[in-house]
Chain A
């Protein structure tokens, strides 16, 4: 059985308790007796008091009753009632307190006597109220009350004596028991105190020294010194030993935590810092810290990797950019040279367009002249047309007249044919007349030949007329043709006029266009000059860009170096 401190303490305690218990019991019984005695004593005194209380109250009641009977004042009645009550109360009190048979008996007798006395008093009051006081006075005179009162006081005295005797007895008993208790308590206390002191000293020593050591250990631990161990105490089997073991464990725990911290300080994040229990605050914190650290390191590793990748990319890009900006600078200078050529060409174009403008203007002038000539031609044509019309009119008149001649000729022809017919008829008649008609036949023949001649003449005239008609018609045709030709010429002149107008417009348009071309080529030349200037600016700007690119390249390479340095720093952390 391990004598743990608790058990030791328990033993000590139980011993103490036992001693205390005994003492207590003894004292208790003693005190009980004392109390008994005291109670009995006090009761006796109470009996005496009660006994003594009865008489004044009774007398007061009597006095009050008498006063009332004498005065009839209700105040006396009141006093009487109060006194009666007090008496009865004291009596009942006495009843209660009566301890033994004797006193009880005496008390009963007293009660009877009091009752009779009180009833007589009461009777007196009643009689007063009924106004039959004289009877009562008679009674009083009879001396009933005096005897009763004597008996009452005798009884009372007996009770008193008895009680005093009892009291004395009891007091003696009380003193004896008190003395006994006193002695017992004294010796018992002495014994207990000595024993307890010894045990306490022993126990204290066995507790407080190790506790001191443990306190020192705790102080050391609180100061961070985890090195020392107190093994002697640990070997004990009691609570101190357990406590010391617990301290050892705490030490171990703290040592472990410090190892973990040391490992973390040495960049070893793979150390196991899992908490020992749910309530291991430090372990949790360390675990959280290591986890966070690992996560952070992992993220930083990623970031560093990305950064090194990006910085490598940037380095590549800047070198590309440097190369391309050099190319751009070369291209810009080429463009600048080309611009110079373009400038020269533009100047040439400008000159040519000035020349074109000039020739367009002269063309316009010439078209105007042409137009004038065409107008003159038109006027001439119109005159010709008028003449043609005149000729046509004349011819028409001629034709009309020839037609008139034709009509006349036809009528003459008619005449001739009729004459012919007549001549034929005449010759027929002449033939019918035979011989006599021969002369007439000759005449008829002559008439006929005349008619023939006329006919021939008419034929000739007709032929001439036909010729004239033909000539007229040919003339008309010629005139018509001439008119047509004139018309055609007029049309052509109009067309020519139109054409010349168109040419004129075109020439005007050409002049305008040439002027515009000239203006625009001027602008072009100006613009090209500006472009040349801009090109120079671009060239200088691209040179600057090249320089800046070189600088950027340097900056990127240093960035690259730094990122690799960061990477190497991060790499030192061992994560799993």
Chain B
């Protein structure tokens, strides 16, 4: 087999890069779409349904709490309201937690629960056809699998916000004697 010359290799790589760099075409799809909000976390792209997202705010000050589980970041003051923050990466069991500063907070809320999730960067909003949601990514950890809703075609992990909100494991009910 011939070895490719460096110029040929470069050319191939650049073609690939261009392909990958091109933004996906905006598709107005007939099928049912959901609005998702994309964000980044530890170099991975995730997404939530926008339905459950109440607000996205930049993080100002996180007050840590004692005697809380590890995924609890603390509390935050949002326009006079106390909002509890959680480490999404720890919730998902992602490695190398806490190295990149979390700048944005996605406030998930439903009628019962409301909390904020620390994320790195909001990539944007968009619409996702339900049909294009793929299942099963074996490389995810078990915890992530739990909250996994699906995968988007451009390999964004759609997390189940409903599940998160309704998870009783996230309720911290500690008493200090």
Interface membership of B58, Cβ < 8 A: yes
Interface membership of B120, Cβ < 8 A: no
With known contacts A431-B50, A431-B51, A432-B50, A424–B125 Cβ distance under 8 A = yes
Chain A residues with Cβ below 8 Å from B100 are: none
CB distance from A416 to the nearest CB of B (A): 12
Asked whether B124 lies within 8 Å of A428 as measured between CB atoms, the reply is: no
One digit per residue, 1 when the CB lies within 8 angstroms of any chain B CB and 0 when it does not, for chain A 414-448 equals 00011011001101100110000000000000001
With known contacts A421-B56, A424-B56, A431–B125 Cβ distance under 8 A = yes
Chain A residues with Cβ below 8 Å from B54 are: 428
Asked whether A421 lies within 8 Å of B122 as measured between CB atoms, the reply is: yes
Interface membership of B152, Cβ < 8 A: no
CB distance from A429 to the nearest CB of B (A): 9
Asked whether B51 lies within 8 Å of A424 as measured between CB atoms, the reply is: no
With known contacts A417-B58, A418-B58, A421-B104, A428–B53 Cβ distance under 8 A = yes
Q: Which of A417, A418, A428 contacts B55 (CB 8 A)?
A: A428
Cα-based distance from A431 to B48 in the complex (angstroms): 13
Interface membership of B37, Cβ < 8 A: yes
Chain A residues with Cβ below 8 Å from B50 are: 427-428, 431-432
With known contacts A421-B122, A448-B124, A428–B37 Cβ distance under 8 A = yes
Interface membership of B113, Cβ < 8 A: no
Of the listed residues B37, B57, B125, the one surrounded by the most CB atoms of chain A closer than 10 A to its CB is B125
Chain B residues with Cβ below 8 Å from A425 are: 55-56
Chain B residues with Cβ below 8 Å from A432 are: 50-51
* Selected A-B contacts with CB under 8 Å, 19 pairs: A420-B122, A421-B56, A421-B57, A421-B122, A424-B56, A424-B122, A424-B125, A425-B56, A427-B35, A427-B50, A428-B35, A428-B37, A428-B50, A428-B53, A428-B55, A428-B125, A431-B50, A448-B124, A448-B125
Q: Which B104-124 residues have a C-beta within 8 angstroms of A?
A: 104, 122, 124
6 additional contacts (CB under 8 A) given A424-B122, A425-B56: A417-B58, A421-B57, A424-B125, A428-B53, A428-B55, A448-B124
Asked whether B58 lies within 8 Å of A421 as measured between CB atoms, the reply is: yes
Chain A residues with Cβ below 8 Å from B53 are: 428
Chain B residues with Cβ below 8 Å from A417 are: 58
Cα-based distance from A420 to B121 in the complex (angstroms): 11
Cα-based distance from A10 to B55 in the complex (angstroms): 207
CB distance from B52 to the nearest CB of A (A): 9
Chain A residues with Cβ below 8 Å from B51 are: 431-432
One digit per residue, 1 when the CB lies within 8 angstroms of any chain A CB and 0 when it does not, for chain B 125-141 equals 10000000000000000
CB distance from A65 to the nearest CB of B (A): 206
Q: Which A466-503 residues have a C-beta within 8 angstroms of B?
A: none
Q: Which B17-72 residues have a C-beta within 8 angstroms of A?
A: 35, 37, 50-51, 53-58
With known contacts A431-B50, A432-B50, A424–B124 Cβ distance under 8 A = yes
Chain A residues with Cβ below 8 Å from B57 are: 421
Cα-based distance from A164 to B35 in the complex (angstroms): 246
Cα-based distance from A427 to B124 in the complex (angstroms): 10
Q: Which A396-419 residues have a C-beta within 8 angstroms of B?
A: 417-418
Complex: chain B residue closest to A445, CB-CB: B125
Chain A residues with Cβ below 8 Å from B35 are: 427-428, 431
Chain A residues with Cβ below 8 Å from B55 are: 425, 428
